[in-house]
Structure 1
Amino acid sequence: MEALDRLYRSLDARPRPEDVAVLVLEVNRSLTRRERAVIGNVAGHASRWQGFSGMSDDYARPVGAARQVAATRRLFDVDAAVDTEDPVSVLEFAELAGAGIGWDPEHTDFLADRLNREAREAAGVELSKRQYNRRFRMLRRLSAKADRLGRAQRLRSATLLASAGFVDVIDRERFGADVDAACFVAYFTARRKLRREFSLTGRENPFDQVADVLFARCRARADTDWAMIALAHPVWDVLRHLSADQLGELLGRWSAATRSLAAVLDGVWRSSDIDRATMVVRSGVDSSTWNAFAGAYNAARAAWISCLHAAGLSSLLDDAWPGKAMRVMAADLVAWHGGLHPDTSVWARLPLPWEVLDGTAACTRADVEAACREHGVDPERAGWTAPREHGAIARFRPTPELVHGVSVSDPLWGMVLRRAHVFSGKAVRAEVLGGQNTLG
């Protein structure tokens, strides 16, 4: 596979930035000596530990329904076409297969929704009770698989959107047509995809010295595909190069994403027992799902506001300004940081953002600014009412090996700790650590 193809495939994965830097050196043959030195310095770290890492280089990919569909085909003798990676297609296949036994995808409860003998006879189902039950169970499992597959796909899409924007709409031909823009997008999104590390300083600026070099090359050219870069990096320095039509299209994308993700958060919020005042995770709360969608919503909201500012239309939100969504955090991490982040108090003070977006609650820009002042937060610098600006260009540091956010000395040790459930909040598996029940 060519280096450019590998670089393109990295958009939908989670490679280390240093690994992407290696591909950039292979792909972009026109780099100057200085540019090659800067990028090469970072790429050199890819060979650390002989290039091995105990962390996955991809986001979890949903497993399709091929196994369940194959079993259903055998039982029902149905040969209809089905896309086993598409939950809608899988559910349609289940409905088709179940037509002969009167199965309804909206009523799949095994105890309440099965047909009794009289109903089966009326529906023309000439099967024994045992065979009917067997088929009902099969369709119920297939329907449940379609539901799980859809949720997993939405979760992965949200996770990717939060860290890489709309890179999924960039096709291979467009990606290869502008090598400088392609290299910047691939490297910058790899930096944004870095896992969260427990620290007191927060996440570092993803725009490091390599991103700066690659972005400078884009600025130096007259025919740069700024619209492609804007899909992953919607900031003023990029948006100002877009035409009115391009900016309008991007604004529409981020607006739709913000509203869609807010609706998802609404559903997750209703089904969760989250303390809004503290956002400290409780037992039974699916923090991973909430944090993934909250991160995606915040990224979409920030990009939406950036586009509105670039278009000179931010006043459109003055009367209905949705706030940010806070992530849930472990109590020990909150204590380590010395207490709640001021943004949490602002979040608790304002109406829920999805209620503002659907019109069931009122929240003006002035309300957001007042809540921020009340809790000592600068509304613009904190990203509540304006595009958040990052500070100075970050200095690259080798990607750390993390075990549930904690940096460890090497990948093999990290794999042992991960297998032993260390730092996971679960009971430590002592047998993995040679029978010891502590790290000492």
Structure 2
Amino acid sequence: MHNIQNLYKSLNERKRPEDIAELIADLMHDKLTVAENEILKTAAQSALNRNFFGYTSMLESFGEVIGADRQINKALEIFKVQNFSDSDYSKTEGIELFLYGISPLISKSVGQNNFKTDRLNKVERKEAGLHISRRSYNKKWRLLKRIEKRLQKCIVEHKKLEFQKISKHGLSHTIAFKDFNSDLNTACFIAYYNARCNVRSVFTNHSQERPFDEICDMLFKRCVHNSESTNWWAISHIYTSDETLSYLTEEQKGLLLGKWTSVIQEIAEFLGDLWKNNDINRKTMTVRRGNDSSTWNNTAGAWNKARDSWMNLIYSLGMEFILDDLCFGKAMRLMAADVVAWHYTTGGKIDPDTEVWNKLPLPWEVFEGKAFCNKKLIADICREVGTDPEKSGWIAPRMHTVAKFKPTPELVHGVMVSNPFMAKILKKNKFFSGKINNN
């Protein structure tokens, strides 16, 4: 049971696939065939506690959002009140609950933060029954304003963190424990595939490794072989292949399509804001000074992941006719100038996907109904630039392939390093970061 809980916990972490494989090997050793154990062993034998170094320099978690605990604790002290809730003040809901509970104590309306027009004057304070000095009132008013500002920051940071997770592994971090724990084969496949999806990108001028490797394939085949006990609803939150969706009811597919449509809607709004606030070179998608490339790339990745899942569901439901009226494109990630230069010096040219991106309306504007784009327009432009519109995933589900397992590398800003000790030293001295160490 402990290992199952660790597997479930890993859905919100960035554990190495090797360490997840070891947990699976302990859980399923007597349930796997000799051949299956051998396949799993290729990864499990490189787990950290079996590794010569015994640790990794890579963070094994996603980032955390800094909440308003410090400001709220100060407010409780200044207002001289007891903590009136058990809320988590690292979460937006907890901060909002606090603001709506404490603001009436000085007759302040949440959201009314103009220092000149929204504060009460002496007469108004007296009428409101506030028998405190102007200095004390202003101090409390300003503190609540700062907490509201922190709330808005938290909302944005939670969105960024959510989109980063979606860009890597879809909706696996939203799977309920009861669904995850309902079947061992289901849990093991989800946990291992989730870890593979979360592996960081490598600095290269070639395409990244596909996350679905031979161990994923073996674990998924066990789910198929035991399909009656497999929780396909849980699996569909991370792996929306045609085969996975074939096991869902039409109602489940509809619910999942609704989930992904809502996700796309939220990402569309955020992408639009990022586009307005960053001077992005659309033609080359090369990073310029001042571009928030990390946030853009995570959000664009979330868009593409959501779009792929949405497209898979549209086809699985037999609703391809929708694409004749609405078919939004992919969102391109920003590339570092040195990667682009490296690509060109090795005989490469502008990526066909970037050429298609340049000729299409912005995808979030299409989704929001501000621009028109359909399947035919995308297909015509794909052929114009010499790429297959279906195989490239522009107008149809992506092609499924199985990659060979490769050990998780130690990375310093995407550059592979021989061991974690060396990686730690290079990180400390800002190697490959594009920054100068002035120490």
Q: TM-score, normalised to structure 1's length?
A: 0.92
Name the stretch that deviates more: 209-218 or 86-95: 86-95
Mapped partners of 2:120, 2:417: distance in 1: 57
Are 1:9 and 2:14 an aligned pair?
A: no
1:60 corresponds in structure 2 to 63
Are 1:322 and 2:322 an aligned pair?
A: no
Matched-pair contact (CA < 8 Å) for 1:78–1:97: no
Matched-pair contact (CA < 8 Å) for 1:408–1:414: yes
Q: What's the offset of the Cα at 1:400? A: 0.6
Q: Given the alignment, which residue of 285, 292, 303 partners 1:297?
A: 303
Mapped partners of 1:126, 1:421: distance in 2: 56
Matched-pair contact (CA < 8 Å) for 2:111–2:148: no
Q: What's the offset of the Cα at 1:72? A: 0.9
Q: 1:108 to 1:42 in 2, by over 3 A?
A: same
Q: TM-score, normalised to structure 2's length?
A: 0.92
1:365 corresponds in structure 2 to 375
One-letter amino acid of the counterpart of residue 328, structure 1: L
For structure 2, the 5+ residue unaligned runs are none
Matched-pair contact (CA < 8 Å) for 1:401–1:407: yes
2:278 corresponds in structure 1 to 272
Matched-pair contact (CA < 8 Å) for 2:271–2:296: yes
Q: Given the alignment, which residue of 325, 329, 345 partners 2:355?
A: 345
Mapped partners of 1:49, 1:262: distance in 2: 46
Secondary structure at the counterpart of residue 314 of structure 2: helix
Query: Which deviations, in whole Å up to 9, do the C-alpha atoms of 1:232-270 show, x marking residues without a partner?
Result: 100112111222222222222222212221122112212
Name the stretch that deviates more: 105-114 or 266-275: 105-114
Aligned alpha-carbon RMSD (Å): 2.0
Query: Which deviations, in whole Å up to 9, do the C-alpha atoms of 1:141-200 show, x marking residues without a partner?
Result: 211222222222222211212222222332222222210111111101111111011112
1:437 corresponds in structure 2 to none
1:436 corresponds in structure 2 to none
One-letter amino acid of the counterpart of residue 143, structure 1: E
Are 1:209 and 2:214 an aligned pair?
A: yes
One-letter amino acid of the counterpart of residue 429, structure 1: N
Q: Matches of residues 76-155 of structure 1 in structure 2 within 5 Å?
A: 76-79=79-82, 80-81=84-85, 82-110=87-115, 114-115=119-120, 120=125, 123-155=128-160
Q: Given the alignment, which residue of 402, 410, 413 partners 1:404?
A: 413
Query: Which deviations, in whole Å up to 9, do the C-alpha atoms of 1:401-422 show, x marking residues without a partner?
Result: 1111111121122122222222
1:32 corresponds in structure 2 to 33
1:285 corresponds in structure 2 to 291
Mapped partners of 2:102, 2:430: distance in 1: 42
Q: What's the offset of the Cα at 1:4? A: 1.0
Q: What's the offset of the Cα at 1:116? A: 5.2
2:73 corresponds in structure 1 to 70
Mapped partners of 2:115, 2:58: distance in 1: 41
Are 1:181 and 2:186 an aligned pair?
A: yes
Mapped partners of 1:95, 1:247: distance in 2: 38
Q: 1:315 to 1:49 in 2, by over 3 A?
A: farther
- In percent, how many aligned pairs have the same letter? 38
2:250 corresponds in structure 1 to 244
One-letter amino acid of the counterpart of residue 113, structure 2: T
Secondary structure at the counterpart of residue 53 of structure 2: helix
Query: Which deviations, in whole Å up to 9, do the C-alpha atoms of 1:335-363 show, x marking residues without a partner?
Result: 11224322112112111112111211111
Query: Which deviations, in whole Å up to 9, do the C-alpha atoms of 1:367-410 show, x marking residues without a partner?
Result: 1112212222221111110111143x211111111111111121
Secondary structure at the counterpart of residue 402 of structure 1: strand
Secondary structure at the counterpart of residue 178 of structure 2: helix
